[in-house]
Structure 1
Amino acid sequence: MARPTRVSRALSQNFLSDRKAAARLARLAVPDRRAAPFLLEVGAGKGALTELLARRCGRLLAYEIDERLVAALDARFSAVPQVRVVAGDFLAACAPRTPFSVAGNVPFSRTAAIVDWCLRAPALTDATLLTQLEYARKRTGDYGSWTRLTVLSWPRHEWRLVGRVGRYSFRPVPRVDAGILRIERRRTPLLDSAALRGWRDLVELGFSGVGGSLHASLCRARPKRRVDAAFRAARIDRGVLVGEVSPERWLRLCEVLVP
């Protein structure tokens, strides 16, 4: 009998062992089987999620960085024509030029880098990622606050927390629960290219932290009377902290403050 593969702490491996949770993640990643998307999987591991994703997509590239797992993956999916196992780091992959989706049980320690890769890929349509629950909640405003990255990317990407997976659904068991994070690229951005440049400048200024409040930060580069008018239009209190302002209210601020 073959010995089980030891988990690599350096690769932040926590294999999803709950088949129901894996099936739920696959459904969320590909809601409509008829769409038959081109899908990239981050960290195929032992193939539990790969098997379920393969049934729902037209083409699947399953990336696995751990060389010890690749041979077994190749053998398991050699007869599945829509699946190709790719030995290597997902982060080193060139983003496809045609529309594609991303899904996977993300190594917790590499979540930020993988999300950044997805946001930078022009042809990405959506990403469904199993991350630490705290990360997913912070990025989606589930705590009632929003991060700089979420607000910056909001005109082009929508962020949603679409599910939770308990820590005992993984082997080995991690210290925290996981969340299913869904990032969808908008078909039509909320702002045009010219407005997006102004949006980035405004958001960066707001999150600079100078002055202690969003109002004080914005007044460093905008006339106070215009900032006051923007806050009235967005129905925001002058003492509000920057993280408490939702992306929708940021859009209203932008309408008044960005020419």
Structure 2
Amino acid sequence: MPRHARTQNSGRPNRAGRPNGQKRAASKATIPPANHAGIHLLRDPSVSARMVRSSGAGPGDLVMELGAGLGALTATLAATGARVIAVERDPRFVAKLERRFAGDDGVRVVEADARTVMLPHRPYAVVANIPYAISTALLRRLLDPDTTSIRSADLLVEWGFAKRMTDDRPRDLEVAWWQARFELSVAGRVRPGSFRPAPSVDSAHLVVRRRTDVSGPQARLARKLLRDAYRAPRRAARDVLGAHVPMKRAHRLLTSTGIDPPAAAGTVPTAVWLDLARSLSAGGADAGRSAPAPGPRRPRRPSPARTPAEER
């Protein structure tokens, strides 16, 4: 037998009693296709009900569903009487959505990418099961307060992602700024079995609400403080705040919030920087600073001499 014929071994049985070629074919058949987009269709009606109930959607409200899939959330949203814009980019899902909601005037199906679809100019809410792969890009669109009119969002996201978004000391300035303009919280954990195909990790119901207790000037000041803190996270919080107010006042304000003034700026929670911005905005960021040195005085004109009669 030729030597190379021994190395081919294409027809010899393996340990399972099958030819090697059959073993390889069987292995490929049992491996599910890779889900690079992180798309997991919601199939648990109880999760849909909780999300829609949390959103508070009702008659006349405008709600966007980004990544509508087969309409698990769409149907529950439509039942509230809200106006629903169901955005889906997969043509196969779009066709099924259009057939399913053909007779519902409250549902509009839009074939588009959630990352580029035009967002409403009037106040709106988002209720969506978003693909893991575009979570950051999508929140970057939705939570930019200068370009969106979003008032709230209820999102299904990967559990670890939700924890990063709600950490009181975010890793980066972008998330800290989102937290200064929106309240972010986790409403609950969602197990893999609630989706098809099931993801390898748990998901979370991430709740986003636009803050109504932060004015424009307060938000702008908070952004300055956060920017300075993240630019030099190891710098003392007292020094970061001291760039905006006198050092004594910075020390007093930090102490009143429970922060040790020498503590590193990177250890101060976003909520504290926001409270400091509110305090400074109320009294003026420059309140308490030393008054500028007075300029040279103009020489006083001498008073005219008085006569003895005038002195009497």
TM-score (norm 2): 0.70
Cα gap change, 1:98 to 1:110, in 2 (>3 Å)? same
1:43–1:106 Cα contact (<8 Å) kept: yes
Map Cα deviations across residues 90-112 of structure 1 (whole Å, 9 max, x no partner).
22122212221111001111111
Distance in 2 of aligned mates of 1:159 and 1:231: 24
Q: Give the Å deviation of 1:146.
A: 3.9
RMSD: 2.7
Residue 194, structure 1, aligned to residue 217, structure 2 = yes
- TM-score, normalising length: structure 1: 0.83
Instruction: Report whether the alignment pairs 1:247 with 2:274.
Output: no
Equivalent of 1:98, from 122, 125, 130?
A: 122
Q: 8 Å contact 1:150–1:159 — kept in the other structure?
A: no
Q: 1:230 aligns with which of 237, 250, 253?
A: 253
CA contact 2:225–2:241 (8 Å) conserved in 1: no
Relative to structure 2, which stretch is displaced further, 69-78 or 145-154?
145-154
Give CA-to-partner distance per residue, 1:179-225, whole Å, 9 cap, x none.
Answer: 11111113x3413x333322211101111245x25527727845654
SS in 2 for 1:130: strand
- After the TM superposition, which parts of structure 1 deviate over 6 Å for at least 4 consecutive aligned residues? none
CA drift of 1:231 comes to 1.8
Aligned partner of 2:229 in structure 1 is 206
Structure 1 gap ranges (5+) = 1-5
**Partner Cα distance (2:190, 2:83) in 1:** 26
2:134 counterpart residue number: 110
What secondary structure, in the 3-state scheme, does the structure 1 residue paired with 2:231 have? coil
Aligned to 2:161: 135
Question: Following superposition of structure 1 onto structure 2, how do residues 53-202 of structure 1 map, counting pairs within 5 Å?
Answer: 53-120=77-144, 121-141=147-167, 145-147=169-171, 148-186=173-211, 188-191=212-215, 193-202=216-225
Deviation per residue, 1:76-95 (Å, 9 max, x gap): 11111111111111221222
How far 1:252 sits from its partner (Å)? 3.3
What CA distance in whole angstroms lies between the structure 2 residues aligned with 1:184 and 1:241? Answer: 29
Residue 8 (structure 1) shift: 7.5
Q: Which moved more, 1:115-124 or 1:80-89?
A: 115-124
1:7 & 1:71 partners in 2: Cα distance? 23
What number of residue pairs does the alignment pair up? Answer: 247
**Unaligned runs of at least 5 residues, structure 2:** 1-31, 287-312
Separation in structure 2 between the aligned mates of residue 240 and residue 170 of structure 1, nearest angstrom: 44
* Structure 1 residue 10, shift from structure 2 partner: 3.9
CA distance in 2, matches of 1:103, 1:18: 15
Q: % of aligned pairs identical?
A: 29
Can you list the C-alpha shifts for 1:123-163, whole angstroms capped at 9, x where unaligned?
2111111111122222223xx54453443234432212112
**1:258, CA displacement in angstroms?**
3.5
Q: What is the alpha-carbon distance in structure 2 between the residues aligned to residue 172 and residue 214 of structure 1?
A: 48
Larger Rg: 2
What whole-Å deviation, never above 9, does each CA across 1:23-49 have from its counterpart, x for those lacking one?
2122222x253x541111010011111
**1:52 pairs with 70, 76, 81, which one?**
76
Cα deviation digits, residues 217-243 of structure 1 (max 9, x gap): 727845654443332122102454556
- Taking structure 1 as reference, are residues 106 and 243 closer, same or farther at Cα in structure 2, changes over 3 Å only? farther
Please point out which of 226, 234, 237 is paired with 1:215: 237
Q: Secondary structure in 2 aligned to 1:90?
A: coil
Q: Measured at CA, do residues 154 and 13 of structure 1 come closer, stay the same or move farther in structure 2, by a change above 3 Å?
A: closer
